[in-house]
Structure 1
Amino acid sequence: MSDQDFILVDEEDKERSTENNTEKNTGNNTGGEDGQPDRDAVTESPSAGTVKDEIAAAEKKEEDSEDEYEKICFICHRPESVTGKMIELPNHITVCPDCMQKSFDAMTSGAVDLNRLMNTPGIQFLNLSDLENMQPRQQKIKKKKEKPKEFHQLDIRKIPAPHKIKARLDEYVVGQEYAKKAMSVAVYNHYKRVAAGAADDIEIEKSNMLMIGPTGSGKTYLVKTLARLLDVPLAITDATSLTEAGYIGDDIESVVSKLLAAADNDVEKAEQGIIFIDEIDKIAKKQNSNQRDVSGESVQQGMLKLLEGSDVEVPVGANSKNAMVPLTTVNTKNILFICAGAFPDLEGIIRERLQKKTSMGFNAELKDKYENDKDILSKVTVEDLRKFGMIPEFLGRLPIIFTLKGLDKDMLVKILKEPKNAILKQYQKLLALDEVRLDFNNDALEAIAEKAMKKDTGARALRAIIEEFMLDIMYEIPKDDSIGEVIITREYIEGTGGPVIRLRGQEMPLLG
């Protein structure tokens, strides 16, 4: 708005004020011949208390708001409060991100022929000074004053103790006792550290974790369950998609962007969340490579500051940085990082180290023991991980290292039926909605576990196996209201028979 516009506004205000004063004087002089006010013209005045309340409310409203002028898009004429932050061009021209993106897309896609555009009559006479005169006038708006954001510090008394965290994990996760205990203590110490802050000279280091375990041992499920129990935002990413900045793939900082999205773009909440990076063994340093390792050692180097704690600029509401997307800063100092991987060749490195002193004589029996040791991963050391390809600086920022055991048949059977949200309980709930009871023989559960063991993918195979043999049952049941109970047998799992179907008071095989 120009100075002339402000002058005009002031003149209008003066004229309006003069008219109001004239009306007031006229009203005050209204009366009879004796100078007394006309009784018919007298109105009941509001009480003094009401007037004071109105004045106080008006002053409060004025304090909470302030006049500001809002920028308008040159193309679509929408205000900045609707479009988001405007892009400023020379000569005070403003364009919203949407219109700028559409214009850019139209020009780069070939929809606009610039040669023909320049030959359009009159186009050569258009310049930026002309556009300035065409720019929509800024709007005057009432904008509420932003109140300072309160920082909600964690209360140490509200952080569950390790035994309580483990007890909750026990309800959902079968086995892996050592892993659950180690994770419970690490999480408890981490959030105590966050709650304590930097109150004294002793700075407590972060309890970032590294989980090592075979495929399907429950690494991801354990972290998901933990985040749900603690009610903190969780971001899960795959290390195989990460590359050094500037190369094709996800930047290392993109994991923080995912966490911010999981926290509904609440920076304070995101800064107390958990980031889980799976397949971390895939970014191990490549051996004997002369080329730049953009998806291995370089990624480890790039993650060092992130793990330790640093300010990261991330886009709000988008996965990648863009000129059209606003950025915000997230500090990773209090974000808990949990890395996990199967480390398939790590067992050989551990055995080689343990067998160096058992190559001959009476130690031969010990050598055979290591060869057949199914729990060999639990004997891992930092040196073993370094030989695998993880750099020392990276391992130094993951002080809590623990392993998960591979799942045997008994553990798979327990996973099927014991957790709160066990797979069998989920299918029983589905059939209960059709008023049908679903039961499994113990032999059937063992047959399912045996099939899963052959697939060598751990607990991941269980749902696929159950879904396969439950398909026909879930298809047939809604067609027949007389079915009251379905019993799954080993014969049905192995394909040599069918399930037992009980009607109302009857027992006879209907499927298979």
Structure 2
Amino acid sequence: MTEHLNRLTPRQIVFELDQYIIGQNDAKRNVAIALRNRWRRMNSPEDIQKEIIPNNILMIGATGVGKTEIARRLAKIADAPFVKVEASKFTEVGYVGRDVESMVRDLVEQAVGMVRTQKKEEVKIKAEQAVEDIILDALIPPIHGSGKVRSENVSVNDNTVPEDDGELNQRTRERFREKIRSGELDSRKIEIEVQQNQAPNVGMIGGAVDDVSMMNIQEMIGNMMPRRGKKRKVTVGEAKKMLLDEEASKLIDMDEVKSEAIQRAENLGIIFIDEIDKVASSRSGGGSGPDVSREGVQRDLLPIVEGSAVNTKHGVINTDHILFVAAGAFHVAKPSDLIPELQGRFPIRVELNSLTESDFYQILKTPKNALTKQYEAMMQSEGVELEFEDGALREIARIAFEVNSEVENIGARRLQTVMSLLLNDFMFDIPDKIGADSHIIVTADLVSEKLSHLIKNRDLSQYIL
């Protein structure tokens, strides 16, 4: 579990984040240190490991400046389970809003999915062989009560293979196995048996039942009921996809998966709590109204962030070493409006900068997943080449920055709106009016022509942009 982290030095982590996120160097440095500290803790002497707690981070910045993207990319770099929740969800139906512990259970589910996928990849070759055997049995059914196989109706290279001894039949099966692997038989129809999950949806009458108990009840009833197979007629290609997951699942030990997943969630898990400022209550206000609900959510969050045991359907998970990253714009509330105990659990404060016109230009040009590259790829799928001149990128950046300044600042998300308005006519005309092998060049003049009237008409831009 620590081998991958060993290769990720703080500088390497920042370098990886730079491939997708422009600016915000202070935030990148802090999350890089927090991630490296996990490896340092796990490689410390055992008697001190449990005492080293993560330095949870509070990110302060306007929407669209990269708070969520930094946390999400950090999780991908570390190959760590990641969950994003919005703190305001916990107050939607008053004080008894969504169960705060649900974010920890979601993290465990993420970890189980990651470990299961990894284990299935390890047994993929064996699973593929098992799938081939099932398909071969469907193509060349065994003779009842005999070790031989029936091959009267089987043709290889359009020649009928007569029923012969076991050695010849075995050679026939191997020839068919090669054809299955090469995809020659993918369009051929066969009948296979697919396992169906018989677990019912269970509802409870009477007192409230918590989520964990309900999940356990459903799983228990599902395990008690026999699994039934359903005959389906599909192509060989479809059968390979349908059966591979089923056969791989038979080869992995789910108890081992759950145990490893809980360890991964405990030691590598990252929970991103967005809109934390929405549950900050005014310290000068009274003790009534929405402030009660908000402070109640903070007090529910506190034990989880401090470190506690949470029951999940896969087992008990301790949250002591999960990394919590909270974020908020804090336009109205201030970090000091959070209850002191919760403030103390987010010792690292990082203020993210608002994006400049130059930042917008770099966001359009530099990241691996830049919007310009996404549009180029989509048009390339239609055989159309799209090219952006440098002046066009600067003009798009200028317009996006100007709209953010005058209408509402939504950060880098504004670029999506501007790019959509700029290119929608082209996207609509492809491939009917603009055919394959066409070459579209986006110039600064084209950008001005398409978008300048929206900037000038402020009332219109408030609705459209």
Given the two structures, how large is their TM-score scaled by the length of structure 1? 0.54
Q: Is the 8 A contact 2:95 2:297 kept in 1?
A: no
* Greater mean deviation of Cα atoms: 248-257 or 220-229: 248-257
Q: 1:295 aligns to what SS in structure 2?
A: helix
- Deviation, 1:495, is 3.5
Q: 1:473 aligns to what SS in structure 2?
A: helix
- Deviation, 1:468, is 2.5
- Deviation, 1:309, is 1.2
Aligned to 1:212: 60
Match of 1:473 among 421, 426, 433: 426
Q: How does 1:176-325 map to 2 (within 5 A)?
A: 176-196=24-44, 198-200=46-48, 203-243=51-91, 247-263=95-111, 264=113, 266-271=261-266, 272-286=268-282, 287-291=284-288, 293-314=291-312, 316=313
Aligned to 2:346: 398
Match of 1:494 among 448, 454, 464: 448
Q: Is the 8 A contact 2:422 2:450 kept in 1?
A: no
Output the amino acid matched with 1:342: A
Rounded to whole Å, the distance in 2 between the matches of 1:201 and 1:435 is 56
Q: How does 1:80-119 map to 2 (within 5 A)?
A: none
Specify which structure has the bigger relative contact order, considering alpha-carbon pairs within 8 angstroms and separated by 6 or more residues. 2
**1:460-485: CA deviations, max 9, x gaps?**
11112212222221222322435521
Rounded to whole Å, the distance in 2 between the matches of 1:446 and 1:434 is 27
- Deviation, 1:200, is 3.5
**1:4-48: CA deviations, max 9, x gaps?**
xxxxxxxxxxxxxxxxxxxxxxxxxxxxxxxxxxxxxxxxxxxxx
Q: Is the 8 A contact 1:243 1:294 kept in 2?
A: no
Output the amino acid matched with 1:481: G
**1:400-458: CA deviations, max 9, x gaps?**
11111000111011001101111111111112222322111233223322332213111
Identity of aligned residues (%): 37
Output the aligned Cα RMSD: 2.6
Q: 2:367 aligns to what SS in structure 1?
A: coil
- Deviation, 1:300, is 1.6
Output the amino acid matched with 1:275: I
Rounded to whole Å, the distance in 2 between the matches of 1:203 and 1:448 is 51
Output the amino acid matched with 2:279: I
Does the alignment pair 1:385 with 2:335?
Answer: yes
Q: Is the 8 A contact 2:395 2:448 kept in 1?
A: yes
Aligned to 2:146: none
Aligned to 2:393: 445
Q: How does 1:36-185 map to 2 (within 5 A)?
A: 154-155=2-3, 158=6, 160-185=8-33
Q: 1:457 aligns to what SS in structure 2?
A: coil
- Deviation, 1:199, is 2.9
Rounded to whole Å, the distance in 2 between the matches of 1:329 and 1:197 is 25
Aligned to 1:147: none
- Deviation, 1:306, is 0.8
Output the amino acid matched with 1:238: E
Q: 1:471 to 1:226 in 2, by over 3 A?
A: same
Q: 1:199 aligns to what SS in structure 2?
A: helix
- Deviation, 1:270, is 2.2
Aligned to 1:32: none
Output the amino acid matched with 1:291: S
Q: Is the 8 A contact 1:243 1:251 kept in 2?
A: no
Output the amino acid matched with 1:181: R
Q: Is the 8 A contact 1:253 1:312 kept in 2?
A: yes
Q: 2:325 aligns to what SS in structure 1?
A: strand
- In terms of fraction of residues, the more helix-rich structure is 2
Aligned to 2:253: none
Match of 2:330 among 311, 335, 343: 343
Q: 1:300 to 1:476 in 2, by over 3 A?
A: same
Q: How does 1:389-468 map to 2 (within 5 A)?
A: 389-453=337-401, 454-455=403-404, 456-468=409-421
Rounded to whole Å, the distance in 1 between the matches of 2:48 and 2:265 is 25
The number of residues matched between the two structures is 296
Runs of 4+ with >6 A deviation: none
Rounded to whole Å, the distance in 2 between the matches of 1:392 and 1:281 is 14
Aligned to 1:123: none
Output the amino acid matched with 2:70: L
Output the amino acid matched with 1:311: A
- Deviation, 1:197, is 7.0
Q: Is the 8 A contact 1:187 1:207 kept in 2?
A: no
Q: 1:487 to 1:251 in 2, by over 3 A?
A: same
- Deviation, 1:244, is 10
Output the amino acid matched with 1:452: A
- Deviation, 1:459, is 0.3
Q: 1:176 to 1:304 in 2, by over 3 A?
A: same
Q: Is the 8 A contact 1:233 1:274 kept in 2?
A: yes
Q: Tell which structure's C-alpha radius of gyration is larger.
A: 1
Output the amino acid matched with 2:26: Y
Q: 2:59 aligns to what SS in structure 1?
A: strand
Q: 1:233 to 1:482 in 2, by over 3 A?
A: closer
Output the amino acid matched with 1:273: G
Q: Is the 8 A contact 1:244 1:294 kept in 2?
A: no
